[in-house]
Structure 1
């Protein structure tokens, strides 16, 4: 018994020292070298502070809608629904999102809805939507805010982040940044 118990206790102590002390200190130290010292990227506007790298809920017709979240945008509980594409509950939830989107965006057909506007990301915290997801919402926002579509299209183009090095990833738009920019041009 001593033959197995003592090495197990030693390994446990070594792991405790390493993972609770050395590793944690190393990660904290590296975080101090990056912008914002590992505290996330924030924007301050209208006496409010927003995290730009965490998805946020926008449900008003005045704003571009975010990607749905399986964790209600709770950064402490990141995660997906873990339901597969054949799960009846999941399909019903996606259909409900499609129906809501169609009802609030007249003139849009089901085929025109980008998948990212009705399906949650794996983390449930994705702050970005595709350019298509922004464009498909333009008509609703233009009508509610009395803004011409050309102005909204220009705003979308200004907020579009291109793929890294033009190769990696797809074009995307941070919904928070887009909606804050929208508020600057229209307060209606």
Structure 2
């Protein structure tokens, strides 16, 4: 909430590119972010329009390139009208994994500076999770990424992992450091194996 400026900080400072975020307009600041959440949302529109939601002027070629990068192109081609398939039910006829791949394609098309991935793989089957992890790996290159996850496989390659309990940071480090410390992260990791 603080990062997205839903609330203003009352102590400390959050800056983007060295500029306090309060110096940006909310709209220009939020355009710097791409978010993939646990709960996907699609609109009643075509597949193309759903991917191009943040960039309605995007060409078909740009939308296809984003879908390919997100590993969504294959399943889209299987739909009755491909990218022109109309989702009258706002995507309810698609699987959770397919909806998630479309939201990832949307972020690939928007090319944000910063990513927020909030439990983005929590309700996905294992096969689709592999596709999503591949897409995330490509998407995160050269970007600051905040990953909120209970599935620890999602965060093992992170530069810094913050382990939180009841809103307090109880451990921090990378995967190897936290495993060597044999603390909370280690216990959560071994419980998931």
Per the TM superposition, whether the score is higher than 0.5 is no
Higher-strand-fraction structure: 2
TM-score of the superposed pair, with normalisation by structure 1: 0.24
For normalisation by structure 2, the TM-score amounts to: 0.23
Larger Rg over CA atoms: 1
Q: Which structure shows the bigger proportion of residues in helix conformation?
A: 1
